[in-house]
Amino acid sequence: MKKRVLILCTGNSARSQMAEGLLRHDAGDVFDVESAGTKPGTARPEAIKAMQEAGIDISGHRSKSVDEFDGQRFDYVITVCDNAKESCPVFIGAAQRLHHSFDDPPPPTVGTDEERMAIFRRVRDELRDYLREFAASESRTSYR
């Protein structure tokens, strides 16, 4: 049975969207992955493009409110920004809460397209490294 993971950030528009796509792609055989935001917005086109460059299609994702998951059980709740960590709701059950803050990619009005994309790519790669370590650690724990 797959472990359930909920990845949270504020807007569910970039970091948590990319993290959901990465963990599904890299460890979807082990984890059932969802993402949500404490104040959901719209999936950022730059996040979709950065993921396409990595061979992962998240264009069908939508921003979801954490309220959509009220009453559901998760094995892990991973917050990827400080704001989400501070306002994260309590989930029923034994959800292990993990936190690592990643830089918030800038809004479309800041910098050039290439400058913004460089930040999205860096954050994507940092998320991938973190989530690969999380998945590897979970695999080691599960087989003890």
DSSP string, 28-59: TTTEEEEEEESS-----HHHHHHHHHTT---T
Predicted pLDDT at 143: 42
Predicted pLDDT at 136: 93
Overall average pLDDT of the 50-76 stretch: 93
Query: Could you list the active site residues?
Result: 9, 81, 88
Overall average pLDDT of the 116-141 stretch: 92
Q: How many structural domains comprise the chain? A: 1
* CATH at residue 57: 3.40.50.2300
The residue range of the domain holding 91 is 3-142
